[in-house]
Structure 1
Amino acid sequence: MAPTEEILNAEIKKWAQRLDDALVRTHAKGQKGVEYLTNIKAYQNDSLHFMQKGDPVRAFEALL
């Protein structure tokens, strides 16, 4: 694996974990909050999908 790819994969892992940690402590307030959390979780799932497909650039992009 190329050094750049290793760095990218490490960043994806770091930010995915931060998101997981934050979601545990996050609760929606009102309809807008529910919509925001739904979108956040959708992007998180997109990131996992892209990683499984071997596309770390899109996986990283979906997280941020």
Structure 2
Amino acid sequence: MSKSLEEELRDETLKWLQKIEKEIKKIEVNDEKGKEFFENIKAYISDSHYFLNRDLIRAFECVVWAWAWLEIGVRVGLLSVKEF
């Protein structure tokens, strides 16, 4: 039996939330602007959790935005990925 669209969206949102929560533990902030970027990433993650049981589309949008801010921050040098 196939999943409903809602189930698929919830699963994808949770998958990407778990991945970004793991990834942000490896992030170093390089300067004050990077700190702002990092705070925005954490806010989008928090918002995604908030919307998870209220509005799945917004929850998914928030986790997508969190990833976008993370990738942009790393690419422009405001954030760095720590190697373990």
TM-score (norm 2): 0.70
Larger helix share, 1 or 2: 1
* % identical equivalent positions: 37
Whole-angstrom CA distance in 2 between matches of 1:21 and 1:51: 18
2:55 aligns with 55
**Secondary structure of 2:27's aligned partner:** coil
Whole-angstrom CA distance in 1 between matches of 2:63 and 2:55: 13
- Alignment coverage as a number of residue pairs: 62
TM-score (norm 1): 0.90
Q: Which has the larger radius of gyration?
A: 2
Spell out, residue by residue over 1:13-64, the C-alpha distance to the aligned partner (whole angstroms, 9 max, x if none).
Answer: 1100111111110111101110100000011111111114x21110000110
Whole-angstrom CA distance in 2 between matches of 1:7 and 1:51: 13
1:27 aligns with 28
- Gapped regions of structure 1 (runs ≥ 5): none
- Gapped regions of structure 2 (runs ≥ 5): 65-84
Larger strand share, 1 or 2: 2
> How do 1:32-47 and structure 2 match up within 5 A?
32-47=33-48
Over 3 Å off, 4+ runs: none
Aligned CA RMSD, in angstroms, stands at 1.1
